Every structure is written in structure tokens, then in C-alpha cells.
Amino acid sequence: MSARERILKRLRERADGPLEAPESEFAVVTGRGWTPEERLARFEHWIASVHGEVVHVSRADWTVRLAEVLRDKGVRRLALGRAHPVAAEARAALADGEVELVDADRDIESWRREQFELVEAGVASSQGGVAETGSLWLWPTPDEPRLLSLVPPIHIAVLDAEAIEDTLFDVMEGQDWAAGMPTNALLISGPSKTADIEQTLAYGVHGPRELIVLLRHP
């Protein structure tokens, strides 16, 4: 008998007999009923509380603000995708600028050291947000891969205000995540941090030091 069969047999032939599964009542994690204003205010409050920076932009001129952010932060090398409208619009706006645009849609093996050591920021789309916790959710794609939001010291996330929902439960249920999960799904709340040295908060321990959310309004 294999280990698998032995373990399952022990679990199935439980000495104290079969167990009854209780029902779960999920009302406590949904049904917040916030207005769009309340939702936005909460999102901003909570992401700011974990060192995330929110920049309000309009759908029309967000790339102008992106260029300003890059200038303010002194970013000279920016990694980004190509196909997603966020990446395409950013590329068009930054094409003639001084920021070097680095293609993120390449096999990591071919540019790992470049990504780890030279790229100063990554800009990527976010599918949505969670108001209750001030979180972004991302399903990385071949165009905007997993490491784009992790390795560069600054993560610039582009999020549409109307894509923010109340709770994580609402997102999972509303978008029917269980019907088909991607290779990697991420919930991101702030930049990378640690408190492992005597409870003192430090940012950017492994991932980004800064998280800037370009929050796009219609």
C-alpha cells in the first residue's frame, strides 16, 4: 500500500466515526452596501495606511501624470508590457521621453539580471481593487508577467476607480474566480515590508520599496 492509500485509509476509518460538516454563514464578509464615494474613501484610507501612494488621475490624461511620477521618482528605466491598453498607452506617451522602456513580455531567463539590477520601476495594470483592505488584485499575463509587480523597486499600478469592490469575498464571488483560476492570482496591499528586526517597520525587503497607484477616474 502506498503512503497515499495508508493516509487516506486512516482518515476514512476514523476511530470516533464519521464527522458532520457544519454550514457556513458568509454574511459577515459581504453586503457592505457602501456608496462609490465611501468605497473609494476606504480604499484610499487603507492603502495609504500601509504606505501605498494614491494618485488620482483621469482616464484621458493619466499618462501625463505617469510621466510626472517617473520624473519625481527619478526613474530612468521602466519595465512594462506591450499588448495591454495600459502598457500600449504608456508606451505611446513615453516614446519620445528620457525614460528607457524595457520589454517585460520576454522569457525571464533572457533578462533576469537586467530586471533584478537595472530596472527601476514596473508599471502594470490591476484588474480590480478591494475597498475594505485597500488591496489591488492582479492576474499576471504573458504580457504583464508575475515578476513585473515584484522585482523592480517601484511598482506603479494602474487601477480604474469603478473596478474597486467592497470585500475580497465580493471579488471572488462576483468575478467567479472558482470557475477558472490563472497560474497566479495576487492580492497586493502596499509595498513589500518586514518588521522582523525588533518590530521596526522597513519597506522594500524583497519586493518593491514603493507602491504607487494611479487611480483612474472616467
Partner 1 sequence: MSVQTFTPRAFHEQAREALGNPQIRANFRSAMDGLMAKRRDSFGDWDLETLRELGASIRLRALARLPDLLERLEANCEANGIRVHWAEDGEHACRLIRELCEARGARSVIKGKSMVTEEMHLNAHLEAAGIQALESDLGEYLVQLNEQTPSHIIMPAIHLNTDEIADVMHDKTGIERTRDVDAMTAAARAQLRERFMAADVGISGVNFAVAETGTLCLVENEGNGRMTTTVPPVHIAVTGLEKVVEHLRDVAPLYSLLTRSATGQHATTYLNMISGPRKAQEHDGPEEVHLVLVDNGRSGIYQDDELLDTLRCIRCGACMNHCPVYTRVGGHSYGTTYPGPIGSILSPHLMGLEDTKDLPTASSLCGACGEVCPVKIPIPDLLVRLRREAVGEGRGNVRGAGAKRSRAELVAWKGWQWLATHPGAWRGGTAIAGKLRALTPSRLGPWTEYRTAPKPAKTTLHTLLKQRRHEEKDA
Q: How far is the CB of 37 from partner 1 (least distance, A)?
A: 18
Q: Is the backbone of residue 74 left (phi > 0), alpha (psi -120 to 50) or beta?
A: left
Q: Is residue 64 close enough to count as binding partner 1 by CB under 8 A? A: no
Comparison of 128 and 145: residue with beta carbon closer to partner 1 = 145
Residue 192 near partner 1 by CB under 8 A: yes
Would you count residue 96 as binding partner 1 (CB under 8 A)? no
Rule CB under 8 A: say whether 77 interacts with partner 1.
no
Buried b vs exposed e over 50-87: b needs ≥16 C-beta within 10 Å?
A: bbbbbeebeeeebbeebbebbeeeebebbbbbeebebb
Stretch that binds partner 1, among 62-70, 90-98, 120-128, 174-182 (CB under 8 A): 174-182
Shortest Å distance, C-beta 75 to partner 1: 18
> Footprint of partner 1 on residues 122-161 (CB under 8 A)?
130, 132-135, 142, 145-147, 150
Contact region with partner 1 (CB under 8 A), list: 23-31, 61-69, 71-79, 83-91: 23-31
Query: Counting contacts by CB under 8 A, is residue 67 touching partner 1?
Result: no
**Residues 101-120 interacting with partner 1 (rule: CB under 8 A):** 104-108, 112-113, 116
Strand partners, 164: 129
Residue 27: phi and psi, rounded to 5, are: -55, -30
Show the CA angle centred on residue 160, arms to residues 157 and 164, nearest 5°: 100
Q: What are phi and psi of 99, to 5 degrees?
A: -80, 130
Judged by CB under 8 A, the residue of 72, 95, 183, 218 near partner 1 is 183
Classify residue 203 by burial, with Cβ atoms within 10 Å: 0-12, 13-18, 19+.
middle
Annotate 148-169 with DSSP letters as a single string: GGTSSSEEEEEEEGGGEES-HH
Span from 70-78, 83-91, 158-166, 193-201 in contact with partner 1 (CB under 8 A): 193-201
Minimum distance from CB of 178 to partner 1 (Å)?
Answer: 4
How many other CB atoms are found less than 10 A from the CB of residue 190? 22
Nearer to partner 1, 128 or 207 (CB): 207
